[in-house]
Amino acid sequence: MEEAGGVAVGLTGTFENFNSDAEARLANALIQVGKFVQGESGCLLGHIKAAVFDENGRGITLNLIDMDNGVEHHGTLPPMDNARFDFMCAVLDVDEHELLHMMMDAIDQSGIEYRFDPSSVHHHHHDKDGHAVFDDDDHEHHHHDDRECHCRACEERRQEEADQDKKKESFWHKHPHQKDE
């Protein structure tokens, strides 16, 4: 894998109230990840796959290998209260950590009700407020001295929050000279 410059990451979990609408949203989540990969490496060389299945392992598989052709759908799954899912991505020339973040964000923003298996979310996950929550104390791997993730996605989120905070500054803050008038 190292010879090819490839990375392979995956997530597992459960979708709640899974139906055809959720399937379409999941397909869109794969597209979002595909766009990210394409932006990072110049082209999508690899594949992005998801499977959603019942307790017998029967269900649907979504497969994205070419952005022009879109997501391929295989199999059928009736509406389910709780459906298991596997979501994996094997591609070239992308940072593994950022890729995992993108996959988590894509599921989070899809609108599907979900729960990630803690074991599949490596060192941390983000709660609903976007804060990084570590699953264990071992974050040496990412050199998290301040218990914050410093990957690009998290840094961009912090920058956005900082920019929004700046916009909320008071009139007097922006125009201090007028206070004295």
Partner 1 sequence: MYVYILGGFLGSGKTSLLMKLASMYSERKEKVAIIVNEAGEIGVDGATLKAQGYDAIELPSGCICCTLSGSLTNALINIKNDIDPDVIIIEPTGLALPNKVKDIVHKSCIDEDADIIIGIADIQRFNDLIKKKEEFFTRQMTGSDFILINKSDLATPEQINGATSWLKERFPAKDIVPVSVKDGTNLDRVYEMMQ
Residues that bind partner 1 (CB under 8 A): 1, 3-6, 8-12, 42-43, 45-47, 49-51, 53, 56-59, 61, 65-66, 69, 74-75, 86-93, 120
At its nearest, how many Å lie between partner 1 and the CB of residue 122? Answer: 9
34/157 with CB nearer partner 1: 34
Residue matched to tokens 């840094």: 155
Amino acid at 158: R
Which amino acid would we find at residue 92?
A: L
Instruction: Count other Cβ atoms within 10 Å, centred on residue 83.
Output: 23
Between 14 and 120, whose beta carbon lies closer to partner 1?
A: 120
Q: Least distance from C-beta 10 to partner 1, angstroms?
A: 2
CB 178 to partner 1: min, Å = 58
Is the CB of 36 or the CB of 87 nearer to partner 1?
87
Bridge partners of residue 89, in order along the sequence: 9, 48
For partner 1, give the closer residue by CB, 120 or 150: 120
- CA 154 to CA 158: how far, in whole Å? 6
Min CB(83)–partner 1 separation in Å: 13
State in angstroms the smallest separation of the CB of 91 from partner 1: 7
Please enumerate in sequence order all residues whose Cβ is within 8 A of that of 43, keeping only pairs 6 or more positions apart, or say none: none
In the bound state with partner 1, the residue whose beta carbon lies nearer, of 47 and 158, is: 47
Question: Structure tokens of 53?
Answer: 């299945």
46-53 vs 59-64, strand pairing mode: antiparallel
- Total Cβ atoms within 10 A of residue 171: 9
Instruction: Name beta bridge partners: 115.
Output: 14
